[in-house]
Structure 1
Amino acid sequence: MADGSSNQTSRSSTGSKPNPANVNPAFRYLGIPTSWLTRQGSDRPRLKLPSARTSGFLLSCGSLISLYAYDRYQCKKIKQRYLERVSHLSETLVTNPSNDQFESDNGHWMPRRVNVYGARVPEDVDVDRGTQWFKKYVKPILIAAAIDYTIQNGTTPGALARKISADIRDQRVVEAAQQKEGHDLPDLKPGMPGYREWHAGQHRLTGGTLILGRATLKEYLWGLKNGYEQRIPLDELDDDERFSKHLEEAGIFEIDAYPAEFSSNDDSNMPEGLRSVHEQLMETRGQDESLDSSSSMNDQSSTSPDKKPSNFFTLFSQSIDTPSSHLSSSNSNSNVTTLASTQIPLQAPLLLVPFDHPIGIRWWPLKTYRFFNKREQVELGAQTAMKLIQSQTRPIEPPTNTAGLSEFPKLCSATAVEEKDLEDVNIQINLTGSRDLDFLAPDADLHLRRSYRKLWKRVIEERDLFRKELKDRLIACRQSSASNHPEEAGQAEPLNESQLRQEAFQKERKWSDQLHGWSIVRQGSGVSWSPDMSDALKIYESSHEDPNITSEN
């Protein structure tokens, strides 16, 4: 009887159907058999959904990974599509090298070269953020179209502007010397040294200039305007020597309370370590010139009896003025002392690249959106390359509102500017009314770090503190050199005056460059403009009929 009841119980347990109420509806709607979920007759655990927190975590991670994978897949498709559209341009050079389209005057084809300018984003950790963007999104399309490029990147704000201005000044001096001597450069043939650079110079107007971002546009226009409109002194002083002379005239090393023991009479007996580089160069100019310089200084000192006695630093300033005046008198016969400003010639067309990199915590949502939408950057870089390949240009639009232009010349030197001069700096962004000069405005200026607005204050405070300490260090250095006490064992040897001057020169140069770059790219600074730019500059743009270049089939 007991055995029968047990068999009946086992038959009822094995024959009973699983209760669907105990099954999660999510599995039921997915079509999974109920027997698989209830695990009838098995010791294995039943399948069940994860908890709410685990489900949210998996859903978030899966969504982000899917967005990332989809975006990168689309990036490859977009890049490949544009590469196929321009690849026939480079393939034609291999299959048909005698094509007249690619044959130069000398029967030797050279690739079209463009100049890429990239300025550093203020207070960015990467000094070449813009050029990295170019190499990643624009360079592959240009290489596929057989277009060469050169990159000039500014390591600090304002460095690119000074580099462009210096290159233009050097070019003007060389051209003026060649015109004076009637010297013409011969045409170079393929294979000769320097042919690549010579060919690029001869065909510079057929190339182009890529401007990466608004900061680069400001620095390029400033360098272009300053390079051609600045008067160039034809003296023997370079930029560092001229800046050192400016420091001397500013009286940074003047100490009235404790004058140096060296005077103009015993300048030849001055220790080698205390003489500046300029004074050493003066001794190599010749005996006649040194005699004329010493006589002129003696006459000047005799005519001004109320002037304070000359020391090492005042003598340095006087000796610097002597060669320049001598050079002016020697060049007075030929009436060439300075090279006058010239009109801005025709430049290579500009391609304004809408590169922008916001900095700061407040722009993290925008940067996160851009991280998962790299396909927009790929499309933008490809369209930029297409504009350059298509070579459709138009004249630059002149400004209609002068309030958006910057003052010129904008030489904000750290040796003369004071804190009171920069307290009322205008940070309001004024537009010029030109779509070219207002490129990426005002968003690009607003994307700068807010702390960059007060850079001038930090620089001036650091400069004033250093100058105050420099006076004390100079006094201590002169006292120790006058007493000639031997140094104690284990004590560091103090810096002499020559080393202090070198340290001061490096710091003053750094502060001057920082203020100069800040005055160009800061918020509300405006852009430089010259009426000559209306005829000298052109802008690349897309064609209205066919914005893209299709491959030849």
Structure 2
Amino acid sequence: RERRALAGGIVIVGRPTFKEYMAGLRRGWSEGLQKVDREEALAVLLEEDNHFDEPEPESAFEPETLGDDEPLPTKSRLPSSRPGVFNPLTMRAPEPAKQKTVTQNVDGADVPPPQRVPRQPALLLVPFTNHIGIQQVPNMIWDFFNERKKVQAGAEAGYRIVMGQTRPFVAPNASAAADTFNVADAPADKPAEDKSDLAFDVDAEAWYKSSTASLPAEIEKARKTYYDALPAKLATARALSRGEREPTKEELNAPPPTEVELRAERLKKEMRWRGDEEGWAIVRSDSPVEWDPRMEGALSVFVDPPKGEEVVGEKS
């Protein structure tokens, strides 16, 4: 069964994919086994802010004061004896929202992470650089007239999988023989501990478009713009639902979102924003590849078979 699970391999194309895979592998074998609904957990977290809180009701009258600071309500300032539907003094205070709990599956909650990560399928590391932007147009033109280089690289990568020859994954601070890892493949400006397989395709990060560095700021700007416009939308939704005013002609033709729809919209936007922020934190150029010492010995990498070998080699 284990042999069947390890058959084949995992194709990693480019450094961003490599970072995402290593982050998922580390978190999958180090975090708990509880099944948490991320959307429900975020909904509970968002309820703690004040974006959807009801505004405090204003007093219907201001008491006059005497010389001794004793309040003296006058007839003109007393509330009407006929209670209005939306009289703040007659409206019941909204009941406090019940605290929601995140539904979790307690199965495996007490199971600690393993001391060593089990052996994983071999990795096929395929370098890839995506040239984007006006400044990289010359590189795009060169790539267009040299597609044979990419075809050759893809064919050689597929050949490694077919032949099945592998070597152990070189971990940080691990000594490796010269025939298993060439330290010249790692960038010279990196410290010695980074001259491992974690430095795979690190040169491609130098080609990242400069505007990608502003991604967190763009997300924050979009979030601020949304929340600045939310109070007006929420006031309109509540006024129409409570019958405080009649809808306008434009609102009849294009009904504004209800409060329920606004809550669902915010949850969807926050899920996307937070997912983008978390994903960018993993793949950005100044973020290291995630690594756990327990993964040492669990990974292997496809390599070119010895010259003259015509049969599928046994995985090492």
Q: How does 1:55-454 map to 2 (within 5 A)?
A: 203-233=4-34, 238-249=37-48, 251=49, 253-255=51-53, 257-258=55-56, 311=94, 315=97, 318=99, 320-321=100-101, 337=109, 339-342=111-114, 343-400=116-173, 432-441=193-202, 443-454=203-214
**Cα 1:310/1:388, change in 2 over 3 Å:** farther
Residue 472 (str. 1) matches residue 273 (str. 2): no
Letter of the structure 1 residue corresponding to residue 270 of structure 2: E
Q: Distance in 2 between matches of 1:372 and 1:457?
A: 37
Shift of 1:373: 1.6
- 1:480-510 per-position Cα deviation (integer Å, ceiling 9, x unaligned): 3334433244533222110000111111111
Q: Is the 8 A contact 2:240 2:246 kept in 1?
A: no
**Cα 1:489/1:479, change in 2 over 3 Å:** closer
Shift of 1:387: 1.2
- After the TM superposition, which of the residue ranges 341-350 and 449-458 deviates more from structure 2? 341-350
**Cα 1:377/1:462, change in 2 over 3 Å:** same
Shift of 1:310: 7.9
Q: Is the 8 A contact 2:10 2:122 kept in 1?
A: yes
Secondary structure of the corresponding residue to residue 302 of structure 2: strand
Provide the residue aligned with 1:419 in structure 2: none
Question: How many pairs align?
Answer: 260
Q: TM-score, normalised by structure 1?
A: 0.43
Letter of the structure 2 residue corresponding to residue 523 of structure 1: S
Secondary structure of the corresponding residue to residue 119 of structure 2: coil
Q: Distance in 1 between matches of 2:25 and 2:239?
A: 49
Q: Is the 8 A contact 2:281 2:287 kept in 1?
A: yes
Q: Distance in 2 between matches of 1:500 and 1:523?
A: 36
- 1:411-447 per-position Cα deviation (integer Å, ceiling 9, x unaligned): xxxxxxxxxxxxxxxxxx9565233110111x21111
Letter of the structure 2 residue corresponding to residue 240 of structure 1: E
Q: Distance in 2 between matches of 1:368 and 1:550?
A: 39
- 1:139-189 per-position Cα deviation (integer Å, ceiling 9, x unaligned): xxxxxxxxxxxxxxxxxxxxxxxxxxxxxxxxxxxxxxxxxxxxxxxxxxx
Using CA pairs under 8 Å that are at least 6 residues apart, name the structure with larger relative contact order, 1 or 2.
Answer: 2
Secondary structure of the corresponding residue to residue 532 of structure 1: helix
Provide the residue aligned with 1:534 in structure 2: 296
Q: Is the 8 A contact 1:225 1:529 kept in 2?
A: yes
Q: Is the 8 A contact 1:395 1:534 kept in 2?
A: no
Shift of 1:470: 1.5
Provide the residue aligned with 1:109 in structure 2: none
Provide the residue aligned with 1:56 in structure 2: none
Shift of 1:475: 3.0
**Cα 1:440/1:458, change in 2 over 3 Å:** same
Root-mean-square deviation (CA), in Å?
Answer: 3.0
Secondary structure of the corresponding residue to residue 55 of structure 2: coil
**Cα 1:248/1:548, change in 2 over 3 Å:** farther
Q: Distance in 2 between matches of 1:227 and 1:389?
A: 28
**Cα 1:363/1:248, change in 2 over 3 Å:** same
Q: Give % identity.
A: 30
- 1:443-489 per-position Cα deviation (integer Å, ceiling 9, x unaligned): 21111111111100010111022112213322332233334433244
Shift of 1:547: 6.8
Q: TM-score, normalised by structure 2?
A: 0.72
